[in-house]
Each structure stands twice: as C-alpha cells, then as structure tokens.
C-alpha cells in the first residue's frame, strides 16, 4: 500500500467555517477520484503543543494511482479554491508499507 | 479511531544505516506497547521535492491509549537513543476519524 500524508498549519485568520469548508470539500474526493483506496482527514485534537492543524491521509494501490490523485483536476481545483491561500506551513510525505 | 502521525527531517549527517536502525527499533513498538492498534512507518519515496524523510503513523482506540504510547518508557527510550539527536525538523498531529 502506498500512503500520501499532507499536514497543514493554517494562517491565523482561518476560522472554523473555513476549516469546515475544507473538510467538506475533501470528503468529496474519494468518490470523485476512483484511484483513492482509503481517505482519512481531520483536525488536530489539541493534545500537544506545536502540532499542525489539519491532516489528510490517502492510501493507494500504486505510485501511479497516487500521482493520478495528486495531479487530478478536481484535486488541484480544491487546493486552489480552499487550501492554497490559507496555509502558513505544509509537511508532506509518501511512503510504502506492507498490508 | 485515533491516529497519531509524526514526520521527521533528518540532519544531513544521518545515513542509511541510521535510518535502518530507526526503522528496526520502531518495528518493535507494536509488540512492546499493547495499546497500539496499527503501526505503519517508512521512508519517503522521493516523488516530490520538499518532503519529509520519515513518517510514523500509529492508530489507537482512544486518546488515553495514545497518551500511554506517547509517554511509554520504551517509546521514550527509543526517541532518546535513535531519533532525538538526528532530527532537524518534526511535524506532528493527532486526529480522530470514523472507521
């Protein structure tokens, strides 16, 4: 299984309504992009200082499927509309693990 | 389900043998700490610029179980021995999702 993870720290002026809109938009992606095998996203629980604010974890059967998701116009449109202008910091990785 | 994610960027002098030692040490944690439900860790695949180098994803049934893992002496000892002095940057989050 191939897993993509992206964490975001939002700008100070990003409020709850913005985050709800991001969450709702992200929730449409697994149905819109058939290559997505599993998709789990959500806000930080506030347990530790210094954490990021939001995370997306997406699982795929192959690197090609991840790249299809990454470059998919629906995904890119979501990033442009909901995320790009709201993020102060981003941390990402893609890795493989045995199931 | 409650998920903890920690990404690491290693210092420039951290080599493959160090990363292998980290991976091997991490692989012992799910058996050592009974609260861990799922544990998937690995190195970045090198698909995108600016990524972090290594990630740990750990799933738990409750926040309490995560805190037990976080503060467990075996986990803390592993961090002290294998990770603390080798990390230039760390990104972390804990979040909840429906199964």
Closest approach of B30 to chain A, Cα-based (Å): 15
Q: Is B24 helix (H, G, I), strand (E, B) or coil?
A: helix
pLDDT single digits (tens) A20-75: 999 999 999 999 999 999 999 999 999 999 999 999 999 999 999 999 999 999 99
Domains contained in chain A, number:
1
The tokens describing A33, both together, are 């992009």
Question: Rounded CA gap, A46 and A64, in Å?
Answer: 35
By Cβ distance, the residue of A3, A42, A92 closest to B97 is A42
Query: Is residue A86 very low, low, confident or very high in pLDDT (cuts 50, 70, 90)?
Result: very high
Q: Is the ipTM of this complex over 0.90?
A: yes
For residues B96 and B38, give the distance between their C-alpha atoms in angstroms, rounded to a whole number: 14
* Residue among B36, B80, B16, B55 nearest A5 (CA): B55
Per-residue pLDDT reduced to its tens digit, B41-67? 999 999 999 999 999 999 999 999 999
DSSP codes joined into one string, A64-87:
HHHHHHHH-HHHHHHIIIIIGGGE
Tell me which residue has tokens 């970045």: B44
Q: Which domain holds residue B37?
A: 2-96
Specify the CATH number for the domain of residue B40.
3.30.70.100
Contact A41 B66 (CB under 8 A): no
């Amino acid at each position: 299984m191939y897993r993509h993870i992206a964490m975001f720290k939002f700008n100070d002026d990003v409020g709850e309504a913005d985050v709800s809109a991001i969450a709702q938009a992200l929730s449409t992606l697994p149905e819109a992009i058939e290559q997505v095998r599993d998709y789990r996203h959500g806000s930080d629980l506030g347990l530790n200082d210094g954490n990021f604010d939001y995370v997306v974890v997406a699982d795929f059967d192959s690197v090609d499927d991840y790249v299809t998701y990454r470059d998919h116009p629906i995904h890119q449109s979501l990033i442009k509309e909901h995320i790009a202008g709201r993020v102060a910091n981003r941390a990402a990785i893609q890795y493989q693990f045995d199931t």
